[in-house]
Structure 1
Amino acid sequence: MSKVRNPAASGRFYEGSEPGLRSQIEECFTHPQGPGKIPETGKGPRKILGLVSPHAGYPYSGPVAAHGFSAVAKDGAPKTVIILGPNHSGRGVGVAIDDSDAWTTPLGEVELNEDIVSSIAEGSEFAEINSSAHASEHSLEVQIPFLQYFFDSDFQIVPICMRNQSLEASEDLGNVIGEVVTEENALILASTDLTHYETQDTAEERDGEVIKKMKGLDWKELSSLIVSKNYSVCGYGPVSATMLAAKSFRAEETELFKYATSGDTAGPTTRVVGYCSLGIFR
């Protein structure tokens, strides 16, 4: 009997029906803060190694996320997407890899890459097979419908949830991903929101510092900045691990596709959350 992870965020972070979700994704692209249009899917060769993408409800972060997924769509279909996100619930182990056979959303079912799941769990000092951390977590799940919109179910995923976002855990995970993911057609996706519940001006100032470290692939400095200044970036560990892994694949440049806050996308500007879409290229 197959083990399938059912959606936890459907009907809350995004629309719960297939037609409603497709329409909502399209609205993210045509939103004033979105890229403006739905892109054609490219054929490759793929250049994007990593993507930093937000994970709030689609009305808030969806237009920003659409910029990153627009670039991914134009780049062509990845074979495997390793998705790293923070653990908001606190459940499960410090670094948890799900070992379900598949995840479902209203757009269908996506299989896991069992070989990479096993290889990361075997090679990492921190990561363990653990499904309970993923049961109610939204940060990874909300990325999948965007991918399904363009690529149907013609890709596999490796879901990794980080409660432990220490420098040591991030370094371990980034190195292991760089070692075991040998296929050229993989995408590493780090799920994070930026500053939480500050004024628009404060968020923009702090997020500017954070994005500068991301653009420079300064994974150690990124972690140090956020921890030392107690910035409320919820997924800095996944981003650090993604940047380090991308360096293993000869990452050469980055591009900030879009930055905006919830004040820009949905208002108000008194207590906002910051979002960015950023690509890492070979």
Structure 2
Amino acid sequence: MRQTTVAGQFYPQNPKSLKKELSRCFKDVAISEEPILGAVVPHAGYIYSGEVAAHAYARLPKADTYILFGPNHTGYGSAVALSQDSWTTPLGVIETDREIGKQLAGSIIDFDELAHHFEHSIEVQIPFLQYRFGNDFSILPICMGLQDEETAMEVGVEVARAVKATGKKVVFIASSDFTHYQPDSVAKEQDTYLIEAILDMDIPEFYRRREERSISACGFGPIASMLAATKELGASKASLIKYATSGDVSGDTSRVVGYAAITIE
């Protein structure tokens, strides 16, 4: 059982308080299930990025399994690590999809729990899914310490292959914040430039732009894996639903973090 690591820090530990906080995040967002195959969502504390994340989660369809790609901030565990443990949050226990997982045996993706133990980027997504869909779904959590273009593409293609083999309905979710600790105007300019490549679903150009301007989006590998996987399953359209920075909440625009909700269909 993978226990919560950041409950009480990134989001409330008390189930009632957590539901209240999630209700706040969704307050101004219309729930409308759309034929979405993938999404990019932020992973900061809910007070900062929860409303942005809700703009993507409000549009997700019900699926058998939500495949969660997140960056490895801790350095623990395998370079590309799949968890097969059950995951618990204050809202209950969610099972991992071992059927899809089994299809990934022998691929670039290792079965490894250590990479997930202290990592927040995937954990913070699960209560959003529980808020929308109860506990009637599975997850496939993939934590990426290695995020180069070749690895990310291979991960996405391999996971798409595994999904096709099972015939399950899935949604791919990439967990990433964008520019870190820059003035608000700089963050918005940098992130607009990088997000354009995501909206074009152009993975090589996405990497080129990120490297050209040294843009500090932490989950660039997960974003690329999600794009590669959704393209394998026929996705052809990306939409920016919401962009904001931490400065919009804190009022401090001198050093902000950028957040985006992007959907792929």
SS in 2 for 1:71: coil
SS in 1 for 2:58: helix
Matched, 1:162 2:147: no
1:119 is matched with 103
Deviation at 1:39, TM superposition (A): 2.7
Coordinate RMSD, CA, aligned = 1.3
1:95 is matched with 80
Matched, 1:61 2:44: no
2:62 is matched with 77
Deviation at 1:266, TM superposition (A): 2.8
Matched, 1:149 2:137: no
Determine which of 35, 42, 46 is the counterpart of 1:47. 35
8 Å contact from structure 2 (residues 174, 222) kept in 1: yes
Instruction: Summarize deviations over 1:187-237 as a string: whole Å, max 9, x none.
Output: 000000000000000000000011101101011211222133321110000
User: Aligned partners of 1:51 and 1:219: how far apart in 2?
Assistant: 15
User: Aligned partners of 1:177 and 1:27: how far apart in 2?
Assistant: 34
Q: 1:38 to 1:17 in 2, by over 3 A?
A: farther
Determine which of 155, 159, 172 is the counterpart of 1:177. 159
Deviation at 1:261, TM superposition (A): 0.4
8 Å contact from structure 2 (residues 65, 168) kept in 1: no
Instruction: Summarize deviations over 1:43-80 as a string: whole Å, max 9, x none.
Output: xxx510001000000000101001001111xxx31110
Determine which of 10, 13, 16 is the counterpart of 2:10. 13
TM-score (norm 2): 0.96
User: Aligned partners of 1:201 and 1:121: how far apart in 2?
Assistant: 45
Identical-pair percentage: 40
Determine which of 229, 242, 246 is the counterpart of 1:258. 242
| Equivalent residue letter for 1:151 | F
SS in 1 for 2:104: helix
| Equivalent residue letter for 1:93 | S
2:203 is matched with 219
8 Å contact from structure 1 (residues 262, 272) kept in 2: yes
Instruction: Summarize deviations over 1:66-113 as a string: whole Å, max 9, x none.
Output: 1001111xxx3111000000000011111111121x100000010000
Q: 1:7 to 1:38 in 2, by over 3 A?
A: farther
8 Å contact from structure 1 (residues 223, 237) kept in 2: no
| Equivalent residue letter for 1:81 | Y
| Equivalent residue letter for 1:109 | V
User: Aligned partners of 1:187 and 1:5: how far apart in 2?
Assistant: 22
Any runs of at least 4 consecutive aligned residues in structure 1 with deviations exceeding 3 A, and if so which? none
2:219 is matched with 235
User: Aligned partners of 2:207 and 2:105: how far apart in 1?
Assistant: 23
User: Aligned partners of 1:70 and 1:265: how far apart in 2?
Assistant: 21
Instruction: Summarize deviations over 1:245-274 as a string: whole Å, max 9, x none.
Output: 111111121111100000113331110000
| Equivalent residue letter for 1:78 | A
User: Aligned partners of 1:234 and 1:267: how far apart in 2?
Assistant: 23
Gapped regions of structure 1 (runs ≥ 5): 31-35
User: Aligned partners of 1:161 and 1:14: how far apart in 2?
Assistant: 20
2:23 is matched with 26
Q: 1:232 to 1:20 in 2, by over 3 A?
A: same
| Equivalent residue letter for 2:201 | L
User: Aligned partners of 1:14 and 1:38: how far apart in 2?
Assistant: 22
TM-score (norm 1): 0.90
8 Å contact from structure 1 (residues 26, 38) kept in 2: no
